[in-house]
Amino acid sequence: MIYSFNLISWDEENAQLEDFLAFSIHEKVLLKQKSRNLWLKEGDNNSKVFFASMMQRSAQNKINHLQLEDGFIIIKEDALRNAIISYY
């Protein structure tokens, strides 16, 4: 089966794709600006939003438990410290 391509529609499709990509980039920039505005509005001056975000980050950066090679799980802070030190 032989397909024939219409060059005019191909150009139109490319133009629409370029428009879509430009709109997509513009939308990303707009959403980023909105999030920054929200942060400045609600997250400045050490407000609840600021402290909540810092607490979330702190929780993500903490080792809560550790599973050893034998499958034993350590939860206590002192035991975690000793296991890490003895491993390295």
Tell me, yes or no, whether 17 lies in a domain.
Answer: no
DSSP H helical ranges for the chain: 7-42, 48-60, 77-87
pLDDT at 5 over 70: no
Q: Which domain holds residue 82?
A: 63-88
70 assigned to some structural domain? yes
How far CA 28 is from CA of 16, 38, 40, in Å, comes to 18, 15, 18
Among 59, 79, 58, which residue's Cα sits nearest to residue 67?
Answer: 79
Domain count, the chain: 1
CA distances from 39 to 27, 46, 55, 59, 74 (A): 18, 11, 16, 20, 38
Structural domain contains residue 68: yes
Question: 72 φ, ψ to 5°?
Answer: -70, 135
Q: Which pLDDT score is estimated for 72?
A: 87
pLDDT computed for residue 13 by the predictor:
78
Residue 3 has pLDDT above 70, yes or no: no
Q: Which single residue is written with the structure tokens 């410290």?
A: 81
pLDDT, the chain, mean: 78
Instruction: Please indicate, yes or no, if residue 38 is contained in any of the structural domains.
Output: no
Q: Is residue 83 part of a domain?
A: yes
Residue 16 — pLDDT band, cuts 50, 70, 90?
confident
Q: Flag whether 11 is in a domain.
A: no
Provide the whole-model pTM. 0.35
Q: Can you say how many angstroms the Cα of residue 20 is from the centroid of all Cα atoms in its chain? A: 24
